[in-house]
Amino acid sequence: MDRPKVKYIFLSEGIITLVIALVTVSPALIYQHAETSPLLKKAFQLLEEDVEVSTLLKMSNIMAVTRLRYNDHGVTHARIVAGTSLEIVSILSKRGIEFTTLRDGTAKSLDEVKLIVMLSGYLHDIGNAVHRQNHEFLGALLAKDILDRVLSKLGYDVKRVVELRQEVMHIIYSTEYDAQCLTVECGITKIADGLDMAEGRARIPYKLGKVDMHAVSALSIKRVEVFEGELKPIRISVYVSDMAGLFQLEAVLLPKIKTSLLEDLIEVTLHTDSKTLRFYPR
């Protein structure tokens, strides 16, 4: 299981220690965050044990990987996006950022904000079980009955189920590249989706076994980290073996940021062995 790295900075006037948790984007995050709250732990258990959910994720990979020869869109991707979403919520909460669902009253607590993004992250790609085209729209529709079932099992009454369900459906629909997020929570999951791109897991589909710019760029990304920034609340660091990885940032991550509502809260850097490029802020 990946552990946060710690960075120490020592200044000459006495010793001042700055501790920054450098969190690597990976499936481990969902397990760490689910253990912090009984609500999240129960919701994650319900998702993992739900036969419809697991089968939809399996079918998503049959459609995407087996038939289209694309990269993973199944349960591992679902866990990565859900966990990364929760990590970003924790960072923004620590920095005092207002969450839209709390402001508007559809979430009653920070735990419910986390529940919304975890459900969204886990279910956002199930529409691929129907077709890659319009999978965000299809996924939002498929999620309705699942969310009704899961939220009811968590003890919510009909009114609260509908409120929370609609927030999740909005997020799933808005993970589409050109769709504008209307909530901070939506932007969190949309960006988390784009961060699952290390070691060939790029979010722009590329044909497996085919040597082209998509594949070369995807395979050049070695590690992605998300942590509390210095200039902005969220810092994203992408480590690449060569500059081909730049294509993934420009084609996938940056467009997602621009429609996320979080553009002013993020700094993005790309690192090679010899240089660092800053994308946000300019």
Closest CA to 81 of 32, 120, 34, 127: 120
If pLDDT is split at 50, 70 and 90, which confidence band does 203 have?
A: low
For the entire predicted model, the pTM comes to 0.90
Q: What is the pLDDT of residue 10?
A: 35
d(CA 140, CA 110): 23
Domains, the chain, in order of start with CATH, read: 27-221+248-262 (1.10.3210)
Q: What is the pLDDT of residue 214?
A: 66
Mean pLDDT of the chain: 88
d(CA 100, CA 8): 34
pLDDT at 198 over 50: yes
Taking only the tens place, the pLDDT of each residue in 98-149 is: 999 999 999 999 999 999 999 999 999 999 999 999 999 999 999 999 999 9
Q: Between 12 and 282, where is the model more confident?
A: 282
Burial letters 76-93, b for 16+ CB under 10 A, else e: ebbbbbbbbbbbbbbbbb
**Are the beta carbons of 259 and 178 closer than 8 angstroms?**
yes
Longest distance between any two alpha carbons in the chain, whole Å: 61
d(CA 99, CA 103): 6
Taking only the tens place, the pLDDT of each residue in 146-187 is: 999 999 999 999 999 999 999 999 999 999 999 999 999 999
Q: What is the mean pLDDT of residues 21-27?
A: 84
If pLDDT is split at 50, 70 and 90, which confidence band does 206 have?
A: low
Taking only the tens place, the pLDDT of each residue in 209-252 is: 666 666 777 788 899 999 999 889 999 999 999 888 888 888 88
